[in-house]
């Protein structure tokens, strides 16, 4: 695959969601995830709904191949709940969706809100049985005495129906707010992480989970850090990592002990003392951690940068990419308007050569690791003509603003891209603005 700035040309493909500027809070997209083949794309929103799009593959081998994602299934995953004991409302917002690898005709995914994880089965039905002779036409059962022959119903084709049904509900295991779920490579277990604890579940068992990490101090006043994200290693079923609000990542091996409070590796970069400010702690908090597909690296996202870590080197990342360094001098304003608390996610492309993350003003950034190139692109309705090539954007940090550049002060901080996803094999990306989902693809694709 080619680099993002030169050989790759990103084109608009589709946009999903309402056009009007008045955004309904329930429509705010809160998670985006491709399945393992990339054929399905799931989004979760603040209203607790999951929408799954399916790729219609038209002539995939032709050079002008265009992949279209159309709605496949929509269902209400979580409802708002009320915890009467604590007088707390539990939001229905979907925090994360993770697909299970496909084993049979049906698709399975895990979706979670702050407190409860659910396993959903999405299955297709395109035939229905016909020919029962046990019921009248209006549905009432016939008197059995009137039935004199045995008639076996036959399956006849019908319009495709996609059904989503909850198969498991994993509840009551988290005191704090769930921030991550991750399916193990063993395809039997998964982990769920909240601010202070990580639990290990078996996909079949809902009334029990094992606590594998617990960083709650005996005295809550001594609390200095919380867990912000966790993920299983893509191949080693015994290994997982979790990131903290202090900017550290701990790699744990479940073979070492039942409770993995003592990490096997601690990844931490010493802070640059010249960058110290009131907000140093906030901006060093890691908002997302993702293993590379090959399992040799992991990527972390903090407020201003993306870091790539080699799992064999704990004392510093091997690569650091500045996402929007021009915001460093604006941290006080970003604190006032709450933007400094935004949790950006990041993702790898299929062969781990490019990483992507979001920013403000509906900008998103791609960093080509091999070619040492980066590009800033924008997801907007203005650039949404079919196959329109996206023009690289540039932010002017200070001084004289060149033509086509945007100055930092004109950035719209209400337009943020927190969630992005990259197709596991092809150069197709899904980028979520507040309530719209943009799909872009590489022209050469």
| Residue ranges in contact with other proteins by CB under 8 A | 85-91, 93, 114, 175-177, 195-196, 219-226, 228, 245, 278-279, 281-282, 285, 332, 335-336, 338, 341
C-alpha gyration radius of the chain: 24
Least separation in angstroms between CB 431 and other proteins: 25
In whole angstroms, the minimum distance from the beta carbon of 280 to other proteins comes to 8
SS3 12: strand
Residues in the chain, total: 445
Please, what is the minimum distance in Å from the beta carbon of residue 224 to other proteins? 8
**269 or 342: CB nearest other proteins:** 342
C-alpha to C-alpha distance for 244 and 227, rounded to whole angstroms: 5
Nearest distance, CB of residue 10 and other proteins, angstroms: 33
Both tokens assigned to 423: 């197709």
Nearer Cβ to other proteins (87/315): 87
- Minimum distance between the CB of residue 333 and other proteins, rounded to whole angstroms? 10
Q: Is 164:121 a contact under the CB 8 Å cutoff?
A: yes
- Say how many C-beta atoms besides its own lie within 10 A of residue 247's C-beta: 21
Pick left, alpha or beta for residue 363 (phi over 0 → left; psi -120 to 50 → alpha; otherwise beta): beta
In the complex with other proteins, which residue's Cβ is closer, 224 or 351?
224
Residue 195 CB, nearest approach to other proteins (Å): 4
Nearer to other proteins, 191 or 196 (CB): 196
Tokens (6 digits) for 208: 């029990």
Q: What angle do CA 329, 23, 113 make, to 5 degrees?
A: 85
CB of 149 or CB of 219, closer to other proteins: 219
Nearer to other proteins, 137 or 338 (CB): 338
Q: What residues contact 72, with CB distance under 8 A and at least 6 apart?
A: 40, 52, 53, 54, 122, 162
Nearer of residues 90 and 408 to other proteins, judged by Cβ: 90
Rounded to a whole number of angstroms, the minimum distance from the CB of residue 17 to other proteins is: 22
Three state DSSP letters for 187-251: CCEEEEECCCEEEEEECCCCCCCEEEEECCCCCHHHCCCCEEEEEECCCCCCEEEEEECCCCEEE
Name the residue nearer to other proteins (CB basis): 326 or 335: 335
Closest contact distance (angstroms) between CB of 247 and other proteins is 12
Shortest distance, position 229 Cβ to other proteins, whole Å: 11
Residue 343 to residue 93: CA distance in whole angstroms = 15
Chain-centre distance of CA 106, in angstroms?
A: 21
Pick from 341, 370, 376, 373: nearest CA to 357: 376
Q: Tell me the three state secondary structure of residue 349.
A: coil
Q: Are 202 and 188 in contact (CB under 8 A)?
A: yes
Q: Which CB, 34 or 303, lies closer to other proteins? A: 303
């Amino acid at each position: 695959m080619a680099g993002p700035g030169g050989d790759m040309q990103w084109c608009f493909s589709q946009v999903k969601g309402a056009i009007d500027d008045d955004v309904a809070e329930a429509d705010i997209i809160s998670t985006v995830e491709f399945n393992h083949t990339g054929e399905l794309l799931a989004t979760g929103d603040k209203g607790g709904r999951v929408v799954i799009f399916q790729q219609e593959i038209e002539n995939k081998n032709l050079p002008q191949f265009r992949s279209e994602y159309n709605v496949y299934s929509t269902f209400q995953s979580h409802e708002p709940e009320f915890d009467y004991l604590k007088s707390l409302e539990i939001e229905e917002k979907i925090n994360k969706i993770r697909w299970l690898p496909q084993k049979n005709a049906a698709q399975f995914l895990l979706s979670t809100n702050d407190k409860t994880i659910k396993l959903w089965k999405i299955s297709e039905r395109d035939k229905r049985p016909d020919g029962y002779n046990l019921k009248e036409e209006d549905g009432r059962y016939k008197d059995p005495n009137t039935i004199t022959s045995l008639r076996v119903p036959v399956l006849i084709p019908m319009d495709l129906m996609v059904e989503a049904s909850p198969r498991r509900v994993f509840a009551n295991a988290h005191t704090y707010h769930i921030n991550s779920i991750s399916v193990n490579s063993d395809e039997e277990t998964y982990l769920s992480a909240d601010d202070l604890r990580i639990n290990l579940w078996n996909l079949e068992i809902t009334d029990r989970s094992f606590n594998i990490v617990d960083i709650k101090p005996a005295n809550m006043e001594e609390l200095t850090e919380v867990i912000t994200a966790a993920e299983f290693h893509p191949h080693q079923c015994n290994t997982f990592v979790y990131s903290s609000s202090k900017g550290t990542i701990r790699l744990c091996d479940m073979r070492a002990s039942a409770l993995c409070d003592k990490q096997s590796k601690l990844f931490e970069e010493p802070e640059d003392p010249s960058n110290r400010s009131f907000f140093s702690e906030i901006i060093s908090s890691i908002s997302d951690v993702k293993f590379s597909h090959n399992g040799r690296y992991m990527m972390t996202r903090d407020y201003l940068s993306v870091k790539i870590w080699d799992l064999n080197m704990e004392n510093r990342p091997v690569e650091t990419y500045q996402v929007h360094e021009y915001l460093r001098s604006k941290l006080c304003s970003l604190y006032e308007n709450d933007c400094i608390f935004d949790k950006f996610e990041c993702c790898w492309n299929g062969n781990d050569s490019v990483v992507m993350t979001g920013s403000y003003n509906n900008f998103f950034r791609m960093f080509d690791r091999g070619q040492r190139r980066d590009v800033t692109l924008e997801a907007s309705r203005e650039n949404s003509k079919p196959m329109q090539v996206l023009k690289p954007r540039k932010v002017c940090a200070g001084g004289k603003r060149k033509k086509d550049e945007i100055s930092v002060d004109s950035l719209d901080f209400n337009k943020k891209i927190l969630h992005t996803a990259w197709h596991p094999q092809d150069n197709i990306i899904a980028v979520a603005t507040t309530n719209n989902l943009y799909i872009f693809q590489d022209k050469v694709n």
